Structure 1
Amino acid sequence: MTTGTLSGLDTRSVISLEALNNTAALQTRIDRKYVVGTRLADVILESFDAEARVLEMSGRRSFTYNSVYFDTPNLDSYLLAARGRRRRYKIRTRTYVDTANSFLEVKTEGARAATVKERIPYDPADSHRLTNEGLNYINETLTSSIGYMPSGMLQPVIETRYRRITLYLPASESRATIDCGVTWRKPGGHALELDGAVIIETKSGHAASALDRHLWAHGIRPSRISKFATGLAALDPALPANRWHRTITNSLAFRQLPH
C-alpha cells in the first residue's frame, strides 16, 4: 500500500511495529521538528539515500492519530512552554484510530532538553476526559518527574488529528515521523488545517540522524513548533506566542475548517 501523498517512500522496505519497538522505542529522546512543503518533502525523501524502513501494519503505511490535550483554566502548561520555562509538561490522550488503541501520556522535559514520555493504556471512550485513575497517574508522574502537580482542574483545551508515516533509521537506531493533514480544533469551536505542508519530526539520541543531516543539506532547519502550543496560539491569536510567533508568521499556512 502507498504512503498517500508522499510517493518518495513507496519503494522503501517495511518494518513491523514489534520490530520497531524492539529497536527504537526511544521514550527519552531529542526531538527535532521541520515544517516542509508537501512537494519538497517528497523530493527530499526520494533523494534520501540512507536506509529507511516504513512502518507497516495490516498493509497500511499511514495511520490516523487523534490527540486531546489537557490544561488548567489558566493554561499553565501552555504558558510554561510559551515562556520557555524549565520543568514544563504536557498531558494528553492519544488514540490510534485505525487500531482503536488509546493511551494517557505525560510528557516532561528531562536533562539537556530531552523529552521524556510516560504513558498508560486508556479507554478510548474516555479520551476527552480524565478519570480518577488517570488523574492519579498524572499526579504520581508529575510529582516524581518535575516535583509538583498543576493547580486547577485539568480540562481538554485542544484536539489534534493527522495521518502519520513512521520511519525506522537503522544506522542510528532511531525513528522519524511525517505528519500529513494536520488539523487543530478547539473543543466545541473552530478548526484549522495546516495547508500545503507536512511536519517531519526526527526522534533520536543526542546525535543528529542521517535524515536530519539530509534536511539540513537542503536548507531545511528545525522549526519551533508544538502541535499543542502552536495550535493553541494559531486558534487564539490573543494568547502569547513568544516561542512560535516566527513559525506561525513565516512557516505555516492555515485553512479554516467548518465547525
Structure 2
Amino acid sequence: MSLDRLAPIGLAELVERASLLERVDRKYVVPRALLPDLLAAAPTGTRVLELDGRRTHGYRSVYLDTPDLASYRVAGQRRRRRWKVRSRAYLDSGGSWLEVKTRSAREVTTKVRMPHPDLEAAALDDAGASFVDASLAGARVDGVRARDLRPVLATSYDRATLLLPGTRPTRVTVDTELGWTWLAAHDGPTSRDLDRPALAIVETKGGSTPSSMDRLLWARGHRPVSISKYGVGVAALHDVPRLKWHRVLARDLGVSAAPYPHEGILL
C-alpha cells in the first residue's frame, strides 16, 4: 500500500494526539489497486502507526445483537440513538477489548471500551455485562440489556492507521482483506462467508470540517458512503430487509439482491 515512505508514529503518541473517541466519521469504498496513488498524494508530514515493525495489523470483531437484530435495525432505519456492541481482537498483539459504540442525534460517534476476551470464544462476563448496560444507559439507549445479546457476525480485516498533519487531529484508517462470517447458528448454516479482497474501506475520523484526505478522495471521484461493516455483513448474509445498505451492497460490494447468495465469493 506504499506505506514505506511515511514516517512512523507509536501507539502512545497517536492516542495522546488523536484518541478521537468522539468524532465525525466519513467512509469510502475504493478499489484496492488505487491505494498506492492515494497514499502517495497524502500531505507531507502524514505518519503511519507502527507496532513491532508492522504497519498493517490484523483485526477481528465479533458483534452482538438481540434475536430480532435491534442494533442492525436502528442503524439501518437511521434512528436517533444507534448502538453497537462488539469485541475487537488485535490479532498481531493478542489483545482483545469489549467496545460499545453509540451515535447521537448530532451524528457524533462515541466509543467506550474495556479489556475482554473475544465474544465468540467467551460469553460476556459479569463485568462486561455491567459495562454494556451502563454504557447503553449513559447513551440513552432504552430497552436493550446485555443479557439479551448474542454473537451474530464476525468481521476480519487488515488495517493501516494514519495521522494527518495539522492543528486539528485527523486519523485515517485503511482496511483491506475484508471478510465477514455469519455466526448465529440457529438461523441456518454457520459457514456463510463474504470476502472482498479487491476492495478497501478508507475512513476519516476527525471533526466536522473535511480533512485533506477527504479532499483527496473527492478529487478522485469518491464520495462518502453509508457503510457499516456490521450492517452490510448482516444484510448480505442473512434474510432481512437491506434497509439503507441496499445501494452500497449492489453498487460498491457487488452483492446481488438475493439473501446470502455468495458463500465464499471473491471479487
Q: What is the TM-score normalised by the length of structure 1?
A: 0.92
Give the Å deviation of 1:128. 4.7
Bigger mean CA deviation after superposition, 73-82 or 170-179: 170-179
The whole-number CA distance in structure 1 between the counterparts of 2:254 and 2:177 is: 12
Paired amino acid for 2:200: V
Give the Å deviation of 1:62. 0.5
Q: Which residue pairs with 1:167 in the alignment?
A: 162
Identity %: 40
Paired amino acid for 2:175: D
Q: Which residue pairs with 1:244 in the alignment?
A: 245
CA contact (8 A) 2:80 2:105 kept: no
Give the Å deviation of 1:206. 1.4
CA contact (8 A) 2:176 2:197 kept: no
The whole-number CA distance in structure 1 between the counterparts of 2:70 and 2:200 is: 28
Paired amino acid for 2:252: S
Q: Does 1:13 align with 2:7?
A: yes
Give the Å deviation of 1:257. 2.4
Give the Å deviation of 1:240. 1.3
Q: Structure 1, unaligned stretches of length 5 or more?
A: 1-5
45 and 239 in structure 1: CA distance in 2 versus 1, 3 angstrom threshold: same
Q: Which residue pairs with 2:192 in the alignment?
A: 190
Moved over 6 A (4+): none
Give the Å deviation of 1:162. 0.5
Q: Which of 125, 150, 155 pairs up with 2:150?
A: 155
Bigger mean CA deviation after superposition, 124-133 or 17-26: 124-133
CA contact (8 A) 1:109 1:115 kept: yes
CA contact (8 A) 1:179 1:198 kept: yes
The whole-number CA distance in structure 1 between the counterparts of 2:142 and 2:66 is: 14
Give the Å deviation of 1:38. 0.9
Matches within 5 A, 1:31-50: 31-50=25-44
Aligned residues: 251
Matches within 5 A, 1:1-259: 6-7=1-2, 9-124=3-118, 128-150=122-144, 153-171=148-166, 172-187=168-183, 188-236=190-238, 238-253=239-254, 256-257=263-264
Q: Structure 2, unaligned stretches of length 5 or more?
A: 184-189, 256-261
The secondary structure found in structure 2 opposite 1:113 is coil
The whole-number CA distance in structure 1 between the counterparts of 2:122 and 2:209 is: 36
Superimposed CA distance per residue, residues 45-69 of structure 1 (whole angstroms, 9 cap, x where no aligned partner): 2123343101001100000001000
CA contact (8 A) 1:196 1:253 kept: no
The whole-number CA distance in structure 1 between the counterparts of 2:100 and 2:41 is: 36
